[in-house]
Amino acid sequence: RIAAHLNPPNFELRREECRAKGGAPGFKVAILGAAGGIGQSLALLMKMNPLVSVLHLYDVVNSPGVTADISHMDTTAVVRGFLGQPQLEAALTGMDLVVIPAGVPRKPGMTRDDLFNINAGIVRTLCEGVAKCCPNVVVNLISNPVNSTVPIAAEVFKKAGTYNPKRLLGVTALDVTRANTFVGEVLGLDPKTVDVPVVGGHAGVTILPLLSQVKPPCSFTPEETEYLTKRIQDGGTEVVQAKAGAGSATLSMAYAAAKFADACLRGLKGDAGVVECAFVASEVTELPFFASKVRLGRAGAEEVYQLGPLNEYERIGLEKAKKELAESIQKGTNFIKK
Ligand code: NAI
């Protein structure tokens, strides 16, 4: 906990009363890994979200500084900081949504899978905390490799007897953000008006943009399809190379994660028609996890949508994606089971 004088108890009580009078919905959100490249910008954006009443910032380093800084923003959410493993339980207790960008990012020449050895253990520890302190929370898992960390989280929750597949979502929102941007560039459209479903997973060929289903309806030449598919699949590597050793996507990721977290909160609030792509437990293919469009509601991912009609290019891509995904999922599952 940050020094007590930063959070006088009667001050918090007053804020609670004030909120109760106004009837404003307020969700409690924790960010684990909040002092990192993604975590800091994400904390900033979540502090600006009017649906958030309490924001917990947890990290193993530097969270007091980030908390002090963010807490001076004149927006509604009350910010509290938590530092190190002994404060994990306090950070998690009472939360509605836990967003996890903790772990190491890629350096040039690395695949997301190269991060497995370090990040698998971090995700396990954090999810054990979630199972113990806030078993009904919605989890947004950002730490890579998402294709393996989501199965790891699922196994941890199963072991603890708290697994609810609707409440565990791997964040693939950046792939959609990139797809909308790149397709918008090719079509000369405002990316805000473009909707590209991106399915499969979150690494290389497992990232499968369904360009035949882009809204507004449009068509692409084979060259455009090839260019867009590759650029969307390699978007993360493009940033890793440009940052030349200083990390991977953090700003665009924080933006995408904040949008996705907001969609989860709107779902929890009961808004209708909230649909986003996410990597979830799925029966859409023969694989136990798969990214596709999901409808977000009070229960989390309440409905997982089918892929819809694919063209030949996408059918071939899907087969490649499934092959790699199957291995990554198995690797994650084995990490806990064996
Ligand atoms: P970063 O290194 O800047 O920040 C990571 C933070 O996690 C650090 O502050 C570190 O202290 C913290 N951390 C490490 N171990 C921890 C633990 N046990 N508990 C709590 N916090 C812990 O890394 P960055 O750039 O923020 O990336 C974070 C993760 O997000 C990486 O695994 C990266 O690959 C992934 N990522 C995922 C994307 C996606 O689309 N899902 C996109 C971009 C990155």
Along the 338 residues of the chain, how does pLDDT read in single tens digits? Answer: 455 445 555 556 655 655 555 555 699 999 999 999 999 999 999 999 999 999 999 999 999 999 999 999 999 999 999 999 999 999 999 999 999 999 999 889 888 889 999 999 999 999 999 999 999 999 999 999 999 999 999 999 999 999 999 999 999 999 999 999 999 999 999 999 999 999 999 999 999 999 999 999 999 999 999 999 999 999 999 999 999 999 999 999 999 999 999 999 999 999 999 999 999 999 999 999 999 999 999 999 999 999 999 999 999 999 999 999 999 999 999 999 98
Strands 168-170 and 138-141: parallel
Q: Rounded to 5 degrees, what are φ and ψ at 196?
A: -110, 115
From CA 143, how far away is CA 141, in angstroms rounded? 6
Alpha helix ranges (H) inside 23-101: 37-47, 63-71, 88-92
Identify whether the C-beta of residue 163 lies closer than 8 Å to the C-beta of residue 122: no
User: Which residue from 65, 70, 170, 189 is spatially nearest to 123, judged by alpha carbons?
Assistant: 170
Ligand 1 centroid–CA 146 distance in Å is 12
98 has which bridge partners?
Answer: 30, 139
Q: What is the pLDDT of residue 4?
A: 46
Q: What is the pTM of this model?
A: 0.95
Ligand 1: residue of 32, 57, 60 to mutate (most ligand atoms within 8 A of CB) is 60
Q: Tell me the three state secondary structure of residue 278.
A: strand
Q: Is 202 a catalytic residue?
A: yes
Buried b or exposed e, range 90-127, using 16+ CB within 10 angstroms: ebbeebbbbbbbbbbbbbeeeebbebbeebbebbbebb
Q: What is the pLDDT of residue 222?
A: 97
Ligand 1 centroid–CA 186 distance in Å is 32
How many Cα atoms are found within 13 Å in the side-chain-facing hemisphere of 153? 36
Q: Is 30 in the pocket of ligand 1 (CB under 6 A)?
A: no
Q: Tell me the three state secondary structure of residue 214.
A: coil
Q: What is the pLDDT of residue 338?
A: 83
List the beta strands (DSSP E) in the chain.
27-32, 52-59, 78-83, 97-100, 138-141, 168-170, 198-200, 207-209, 274-281, 289-297, 300-304
CA 155 to chain centre: 18
